[in-house]
Amino acid sequence: MTDLASSPAGPDAREKRNVAVLVLAQAFLGAQMSMIFTVGGLAGQSLAPNPCFSTLPLSMIVLGSVLSAQPMSEFMAAKGRRAGFILSTVAGGIGAAIAAYALYIGSFALFMAGSALTGVYMSAQGFYRFAATDGASPEFQPKAISYVMAGGLAAAIIGPFLAQYTEQAMVVPFMATYLAIIVINLLGPVLFAFLDIPAPGRRAKGVAHPGRSRRELLKDPVIAVAMICGMVSYALMNLVMTSTPLAVVGCGFGEQKAFIVSAHIWAMYIPSFFTGHLIARFGKEMIVGIGLVILAASGAVAMSGVEIEKFFLALMLLGLGWNFGFIGSTAMLASAHTADERGHVQGMNDFVVFGGVFLASLSSGSLMNCASAGDPQAGWQAVNLAMLPFLTLAGAALIWLVLRPKETR
C-alpha cells in the first residue's frame, strides 16, 4: 500500500490519513456486519413463527439502511462525516442491545426492530468508501476506495471468529454475539475522533446551488449505469450470502458454516489491495464487466451441486465478483459528480443499492425455505437461478454505456 506511505507533505496527505482511519473503522466496526450475517438467519429461524420468515430480520437491517441512506447522506453533508459516523455507531449499539434483549425474552417482533436500527450503522458504513474520496485527487480516488474496502479483510477474520466463539457462549443462543457487537460499537467515537474531513462550508447568501437536480443527475448515463451495476452486484451477493448458512446447515455441513462465510468475506476484500490499480490500468467499465461475469460463474458453480468444495468455490467467486462490480461501480459514480452534488448523488445511490439489497434479502428466505417446499438443495438452486435476470440487466446497461460515443458520457 505504497500510496498510504507517501510523504505527509505530498498531495492527498490529509486524505491518506483519513483513509487510514476509515480502514480501521472498516476492519473493527465492520466486523459486526459479518457477525450478524453469520448468525442472524439462524437466530431469526429460532424465533420466527414460520420458517419462511427466518431471514426477515436480515431484511430489516437492509430496510433500515435503505430508509436512512438519504437522511444520513444529507446529515453528513451538513454536519460532516465524523458526526454522521459517530451517530451510526450509537444506533448500531442500541440496535444490538434491543436484539440481545429480544433473544432473551423470545420476541421475534422486537428482534426485527433491533435489526432495523442496526441498518442505520450499515448505511453509514456504506459511506466509508465515499468519505475516502472527499478532497482526493482523481488519480487517488479509486485507490482510496479500494484501500478502505480492503479493511474488510480484517473484518472477515474478526467477525466470523467472534460469531463462532460467542453464538453458544450463553444459555440463550446468539445473545452473547449481540452483546459483543455493543462493545464493538463503543470503539466508534474513539476512531472517528481522528477523522479530518471538514464539513462543507455555507454558501454565500443569494448564491445559486451550482449542482444538478436529482432528476438531472439520474439522466446522466454514467451515474445511472453505476447505480444499476452497483445495486445488482450488492443485491445478488446479499441474496446468496443470506441463504448460505441455511443451505450449508440444511445440506449437513453445519460445522463448516463459519469457515465458508469467512472464505466468502476474504474473497470480498482481499482483491481490494489491487482492485484500484486494475481500475487505473484497465478502466472502471472493464472491471465492472469482469465482476458481473464472475458473479455469473458463482451461480453456475452453486447450481452444479451441493458438495462442500462447491459451496466454498461458489462463495469465493461471489465475493470476488462483488468486489470488482461494487468497487468499479463506486469509482464510476465518484467520477461523475461534483463536490456540490455529493449529498444528492451518494444518498440516491445508496437508496437504490440497498433498496435492491432489501428486496434480495427479503426474497432469499422465501426462495430458500418456501418456494422449494423446505428442501435445502432445491432452495439453493432457486436462489442462484434468481441471479440470471439481474445479471442480464446490469450487463446490458454496461454494454449500452460502453457503446455510447465518449462525448455523450
**Span 145-163, pLDDT tens digits:** 888 988 888 887 888 889 8
Does pLDDT of 4 surpass 50?
no
Report if residue 69 sits inside a domain. yes
How far is residue 217's CA from residue 219's CA, in Å, rounded to a whole number? 5
What is the distance between the terminal CA atoms of the chain, rounded to a whole angstrom?
Answer: 32
How far is residue 288's CA from residue 142's CA, in Å, rounded to a whole number? 13
Q: For residue range 172-194, what is the model confidence (pLDDT) as tens digits?
A: 999 999 999 999 999 999 999 99
- For the question of whether the overall pTM of this predicted structure is more than 0.85, the answer is no
Q: For residue range 65-116, what is the model confidence (pLDDT) as tens digits?
A: 889 988 998 899 888 899 999 999 999 999 999 999 999 999 999 999 999 9
How far is residue 143's CA from residue 372's CA, in Å, rounded to a whole number? 43
Q: So what's the pLDDT on residue 405?
A: 80
Mean pLDDT of 35-55: 83
Residues contacting 370, CB < 8 A, separation 6+: 51, 52
Mean pLDDT of 376-405: 91
Does pLDDT of 336 surpass 90?
no
Report if residue 204 sits inside a domain. no
Does pLDDT of 356 surpass 70?
yes
Cell of 281: 490500468
Cell of 252: 449437513
Nearest to 125 by CA among 236, 24, 30: 30
Task: Report the CATH number that the domain containing residue 307 is assigned in CATH.
Answer: 1.20.1250.20
Q: So what's the pLDDT on residue 261?
A: 79
Q: So what's the pLDDT on residue 202?
A: 44
Report if residue 22 sits inside a domain. yes
Mean pLDDT of 357-386: 80
Q: Residue 53 gets which letter from DSSP?
A: G
How far is residue 64's CA from residue 358's CA, in Å, rounded to a whole number? 9
Q: So what's the pLDDT on residue 7?
A: 41
Cell of 84: 454522521
How far is residue 308's CA from residue 320's CA, in Å, rounded to a whole number? 19
Residue 215: Cβ within 10 Å count:
7
Taking a C-beta distance cutoff of 8 angstroms, is the pair 349, 226 a contact? yes
Mean pLDDT of 37-50: 85
Return the H-helix or E-strand segment holding 310. helix 308-334
Report if residue 208 sits inside a domain. no
Taking a C-beta distance cutoff of 8 angstroms, is the pair 232, 356 a contact? yes
Q: Which of 29-33, 73-77, 258-262 shows the lowest mean pLDDT across its residues?
A: 258-262
Angle between helices 141-150 and 272-282 (to 10 degrees): 160
Residue 178 C-alpha from the chain's centroid = 19
Q: For residue range 299-325, what is the model confidence (pLDDT) as tens digits?
A: 999 999 888 899 999 999 999 999 999
Percent of the chain with pLDDT over 70: 92
Does pLDDT of 170 surpass 80?
yes
Burial of 205 (0-12, 13-18, 19+ CB in 10 A): exposed
Please tell me the total count of domains within the chain.
1
Mean pLDDT of 367-386: 80
Cell of 17: 490519513
Q: So what's the pLDDT on residue 326?
A: 92
Q: Which of 38-47, 201-210, 362-371 shows the lowest mean pLDDT across its residues?
A: 201-210
Mean pLDDT of 234-249: 87
Residues contacting 407, CB < 8 A, separation 6+: none
The chain-wide mean pLDDT, for the chain, equals: 86
Nearest to 117 by CA among 96, 86, 100: 96
Q: So what's the pLDDT on residue 209?
A: 52
Quick one: pLDDT band at residue 408, thresholds 50, 70, 90?
low
Quick one: pLDDT band at residue 205, thresholds 50, 70, 90?
very low
Cell of 143: 485507490
Q: Read out DSSP for 132-192?
A: TTTT--TTTHHHHHHHHHHTHHHHHHHHHHHHHHHTTSSSSTTHHHHHHHHHHHTTHHHHH
Report if residue 202 sits inside a domain. no
Bigger pLDDT: 395 vs 8: 395
Per the document, the length of the chain is 409
Bigger pLDDT: 362 vs 238: 238
Report if residue 4 sits inside a domain. no
Taking a C-beta distance cutoff of 8 angstroms, is the pair 232, 289 a contact? no
Bigger pLDDT: 208 vs 113: 113
Residue 109 φ/ψ, nearest 5 degrees: -65, -45
Q: So what's the pLDDT on residue 253?
A: 78
Report if residue 5 sits inside a domain. no
Residues contacting 95, CB < 8 A, separation 6+: 64, 114, 115, 116, 117, 118, 119, 120, 121
Report if residue 317 sits inside a domain. yes
Range(s) of the domain holding residue 375: 10-197+213-408
Residue type for 66, please? V
